[in-house]
Structure 1
Amino acid sequence: MTKSQLSRRRFLQFSGSAMGLVALAACAPAVAPAETGGGEAAAAPSGETMVDSANPLWVILDIDFHDTYNEYTQKALTDYVAAQGWPLELADSQGFAAGSGETERLAAAVQAGDPPDLVRHTLSTELLHSLDLIQPMTDVVEEIEAVYGAAAPFLRQIKVFEDQWWSVPYHQRAGGGYYRKDAFDAIGVDLQTIRTYDKLFEAALESFDSGTVWLGYHGQPVWGWQQHHQSHQDWLGRWLAG
């Protein structure tokens, strides 16, 4: 293998180990079988298809609302690829879709036998898998987890099907509820066992009465629980605090 050539599969593995949390969420779609003259389906190209000057690595990145995030991930990718001497065709999802839905455009590219190699997006892994647009990525995820630890359990629910990872998780938004485990440990409460709001309120109240003071998203005191919403309103924290 020359420096200017690599398999697309190995690129995913290299990027996972070298780029770490910057590694792209890989969607590496498989090419749909084409009809041969005899009416039989031809075998789809393997994941070892080589990248060379005639077949540059084709990567599509979504456009995040945070400009510096876009700049950082694009630079990390282009710098890494350039250092290896690999040809790269980089596009953003808006330009790729050009007014159509991303999933539909990806499906069309796969059916045409010219799919992108990697896609970073928040598209539904389950949908892409059900449409047979992506390849299993378990080996890549296992390499990354060996270095950085296991992915969040929730990600398994939305990216693992048929006991295989179908996309590579590397980025999670800071959504959901948060609490300080040490504060609840101090009163002997395992918050993971609480599943109703009334019990949550009682635990938060006990934590507050024990002397723990909490600060919410905007600095308001709350009782042991904080919910970040896109509206930036800590409404659950306000509710718990009365």
Structure 2
Amino acid sequence: MFGPRNNRTARLALAGAVTLGLVGGLAACSSGGDSGSTASADNPVEITFQSWVPNIDQAVDAFNASHDDVKVTLETVTAGPDGGYAKMLSAVQAGNPADVAQLGYDAIPDFLVNDALEDITDYVGDSSDLFVPWQWNTGVFNDKVYAVPQASGPLGQFYRKDIFDSLGIAYPTTWDEYYQAAKTIHASDPNKYITAFAFNQAPWLIGLSQQGGANWFSTSDDAWNVTIDDESTLKVADFWQKLIDEGLVKIEADFSSEWNADIQNGNVATWISGSWADAILRGTAPDTAGKWAVGAMPQWQAGEDVSATWAGGSASAVLKGSKHPKEAAEFALWLNSDPESVNILTNVGAGWPAIADTSEITSLQSDPEVFSFYGGQDIWDVFAASDAAVDTSWKWPPLSSTLFSSLTDNVKSAVEGGTPLTDAYTKTQDDMVAALKAKGISVN
């Protein structure tokens, strides 16, 4: 789709033999632009930044206000493979890309496979200590740096504490307790459900499996191991199948109009999501302020402390062909490590900061608007613990867009057709293996 088929296949065939198990032998991405240009206040370097994060223009404005020699222009794009990513890759192929792009951690392998990222090691390679190691490593392949991490999406459970309290439900610390809470909530009112089963959200489905102990992708002998229908995943699928069969969850797409209404009126009492969901919840249901709280993910075994993420997180990468890779990389580093910028990003709901030291992020220390919405709770304590409990061995494969679309389609078909969810994961396993092989990627 992007780039000559023969060259792309040659790169893909080397999959599995690199740091974090991406693609071995990727050609070193030398800087494609004039990194030695002289910039000044009278002649600033102009770079373009593509992002889908709402209100991230506030951070861009802060950068421009504090830098005379570089001017950043924000271009808002649609999130996801069919929106911004397709536009970015097409521009790289055409030779006129933006300079810096917002990429999910899951998408970085796809962009590398398409030879669409600059190697920015010379510009930011000595900055790893600023970031949480597992997040920094999402952009490192073959000891080369291709992206600067921005934020992760550690999972937590947003829940209507007033509903739980009125029904005498203690916060569910295990999935068994979650099941009992689901029965109590639905028995109290046939229109109320503990949550919506979001068949439209592959990141949510993947996060639930990851939290259940699944690890779908690994490498050995220069090839990928794909285990989407492993025992841990099927355990999670069976659990949600039980909730669906007993009518204890509402089958609806999250972020839909119906879902928004159910969040507002309390017919959906919980939402398992990433830390960034706080901003969405406050914006969607402002009239419910003071009624919500946040808790840790229920555990499969009492006493455990296992969490996961919503699609990992996102990063800033310099697109291949940028005319100013040095300045672009320096902006990416500032955006995701400067305390002023990180504070802005946290406020606008970009996610849990990737930087290791969050002591200077004032919005994490005291945020009256956020805390009052959750009845005075400091919700960031929950997400700090969740981020620390994420299984950092999870690997994102090439063709993550294929994974997302296949999983969503198969789960939706299972729900609509009344077939077992376990079959949906087995079908996704088959789809993913076939897709990797079709692109010349070795699979064990």
TM superposition score category, shorter chain reference:
0.3 to 0.5
Q: With structure 1 as the length reference, what TM-score do the two structures score? A: 0.45
TM (norm. structure 2) is: 0.26
